[in-house]
Chain A
Amino acid sequence: EAGVTQFPSHSVIEKGQTVTLRCDPISGHDNLYWYRRVMGKEIKFLLHFVKESKQDESGMPNNRFLAERTGGTYSTLKVQPAELEDSGVYFCASSQVNSYNEQFFGPGTRLTVL
Chain B
Amino acid sequence: AQTVTQSQPEMSVQEAETVTLSCTYDTSESNYYLFWYKQPPSRQMILVIRQEAYKQQNATENRFSVNFQKAAKSFSLKISDSQLGDTAMYFCAFREGGTSYGKLTFGQGTILTVHP
Query: A residues within 8 Å of B by Cβ?
Result: 3-4, 31, 33, 35, 41-45, 48, 50, 55-56, 59, 91, 93, 95, 97-108
- Shortest B67–chain A CB gap in Å is 20
- Shortest A18–chain B CB gap in Å is 26
Within 8 A of A (CB), among B35-52: 37, 43-47, 50
Known contacts A101-B95, A102-B47; A42/B4 CB under 8 A: yes
Interface residues on chain B, number (Cβ under 8 Å): 21
Q: Are B4 and A98 in contact (CB under 8 A)?
A: no
Known contacts A41-B108, A42-B4, A100-B33; A105/B103 CB under 8 A: no
Q: Are A42 and B106 in contact (CB under 8 A)?
A: yes
Q: Are A97 and B44 in contact (CB under 8 A)?
A: no
Query: B residues within 8 Å of A by Cβ?
Result: 4, 33, 37, 43-47, 50, 91, 95, 100-109
CA distance A44 to B94 in the complex (A): 12
Q: Are A106 and B44 in contact (CB under 8 A)?
A: yes
Chain A residue at minimal CB-CB distance from B45 = A105
CA distance A36 to B72 in the complex (A): 29
Contacts of B103 on A, CB cut-off 8 Å? Answer: 33, 45, 48, 56, 59
